[in-house]
């Protein structure tokens, strides 16, 4: 009887854990591109000249500079110039000698010899390479240092095989070892001086395990279909109708994620703050607050710099259906393909009869933009009329 009781309890526990797993999986993760501000540079620059980094080995210096220039150009936040740049990036590179160590360790195993199991001693052979590299950089503007740091890279890897030659054959070449170490240092400088694209993961909130909310859930379903207006409507209903502060907080958070998607960082920050106030110490809300605040401050600095420089960028909206109406809601000028606009955020609305409208925000501050909008057809329900007698 005791065993049966234990089994029944385990069965109930298993069902409970499955229920928790299913509910947890109903939370939806949204991956949004996030323009991470530089980690070292506090005031953005628009152009840079990259000088050679001094090094004992010219090959290392050339590789380092070429890789850094290529990645900065690919990121696109700072224009690379050989002349007339507003800032200059330089530094010192130190790369140690590669240290190689080989050793072996024995182990016991059994083998059949003449039909009998015999204990034999065998060896694993190890081939280890280590390397340390250090870079110090300075970014200067008008001969004044505006950013600088020192980074280190440690390479330490061991390969193992049945013999020393086989272990050595598995090892990376010295050039690859050096290049991997230099690549890490290049990325450290890139992240220090340039904003860089990364992915931010948000988990849209659906409520707790024991207090799920259908409004939150339905809003998430619409959000994942790209029907953002409908999602917003359901989440706002939760805020207006629900008494549970944690459910309200979840709705505010979801609305904040949508504002972050549109790059409305100030609005996103306020919504995340509302969520945090209703549900304090929630790690999701706290992380979103911190990250959004840094994004907001840096974007404001970039827009201010563009305004001073008089920078303008072209905006083109490619739509389906092609005869849709395109409007920019926060300016007086009528939309024209490729129109030149100053740095800032623009609210675009696309409408067409028989389709859901699409409203989104576009931030211009680094380059010309082409936005693609595909409208979704509205659902039409047909009701069969009763037959006439």
**Of residues 102, 95, 94, the one with CA closest to residue 171:** 102
Q: What is the pLDDT of residues 211-234, one digit of tens each?
A: 678 999 999 999 988 899 999 999
Give me the residues of the chain with pLDDT under 70, please.
Answer: 1-27, 208-211, 294-311, 365-367, 379-389
DSSP state of 278: H
The CATH code that applies to domain 28-35+199-307 is 1.25.40.10
Confidence at residue 66, expressed as pLDDT on a 0 to 100 scale? 96
pLDDT attached to residue 22: 44
Range 47-194 classified under CATH 3.30.160.150: yes
- The structural domains of the chain, with segments of one domain joined by +, span 28-35+199-307, 47-194, 310-374
Q: What share of the chain is helix, strand, coil (3-state, %, to 5)?
A: 40, 35, 25
The CA angle 69-72-75, to the nearest 5 degrees, is 150
For every residue of 143-174, DSSP letters joined together read TEEEEEEEEEEEEEEEEEESSHHHHHHHSPPH
CATH code of the domain occupying 310-374 = 2.60.40.10
| pLDDT tens-digit readout, 163-179 | 999 999 999 999 999 99
Whole-number pLDDT of residue 59: 94
**What pLDDT, on a 0 to 100 scale, did the predictor assign at position 24?**
44
Question: Whole-angstrom Cα distance, residue 215 to residue 193?
Answer: 43
Residue-wise over 21-37: b if at least 16 C-beta within 10 A, else e?
A: eeeeeebbebeeebbbb
Longest dimension (CA), the chain: 100
């Amino acid at each position: 009887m005791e065993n049966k009781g234990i089994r029944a309890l385990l069965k109930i526990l298993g069902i409970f854990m499955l229920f928790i797993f299913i509910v947890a999986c109903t939370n939806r993760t949204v991956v949004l591109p996030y323009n991470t501000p530089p980690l070292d540079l506090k005031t953005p620059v628009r152009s840079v000249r990259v000088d050679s980094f001094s090094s004992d080995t010219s090959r290392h210096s050339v590789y380092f500079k070429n890789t850094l220039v290529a990645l900065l150009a690919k990121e696109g936040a700072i224009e690379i110039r050989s002349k007339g740049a507003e800032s200059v990036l330089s530094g010192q590179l130190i790369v140690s000698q590669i240290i190689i160590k080989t050793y072996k360790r024995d182990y016991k195993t059994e083998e059949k010899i003449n039909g009998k199991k015999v204990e034999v001693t065998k060896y694993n052979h190890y081939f280890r390479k280590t390397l340390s590299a250090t870079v110090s950089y300075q970014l200067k503007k008008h001969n004044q240092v505006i950013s600088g740091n020192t980074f280190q890279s440690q390479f330490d890897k061991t390969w193992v095989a049945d013999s020393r030659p086989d272990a050595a054959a598995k090892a990376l070449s010295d050039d690859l070892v050096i290049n991997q170490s230099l690549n890490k240092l290049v990325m450290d400088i890139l992240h220090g001086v340039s904003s860089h694209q990364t992915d931010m993961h948000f988990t849209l909130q659906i409520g707790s395990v024991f207090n799920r909310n259908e409004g939150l859930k339905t809003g998430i379903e619409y959000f994942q279909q790209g029907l953002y207006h409908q999602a917003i409507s359901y989440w706002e209903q939760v805020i207006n109708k629900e008494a549970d502060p944690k459910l309200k907080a979840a709705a505010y958070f979801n609305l904040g994620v949508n504002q972050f998607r549109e790059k409305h960082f100030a609005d996103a920050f306020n919504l995340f703050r509302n969520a945090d106030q209703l549900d304090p110490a929630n790690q999701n809300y706290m992380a979103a607050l911190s990250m959004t605040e840094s994004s907001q401050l840096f974007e404001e600095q970039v827009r201010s710099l563009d305004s001073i420089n008089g920078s303008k960028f072209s905006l083109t909206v490619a739509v389906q259906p092609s005869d849709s109406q395109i409007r920019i809601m926060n300016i007086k000028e009528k939309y024209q393909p490729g129109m030149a606009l100053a740095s800032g955020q623009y609210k675009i609305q696309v409408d067409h009869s028989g389709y859901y409208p699409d409203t989104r925000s576009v931030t211009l501050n680094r380059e010309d933009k082409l936005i693609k909008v595909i409208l979704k057809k509205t659902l039409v329900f047909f009701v069969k009329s009763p037959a006439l007698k």
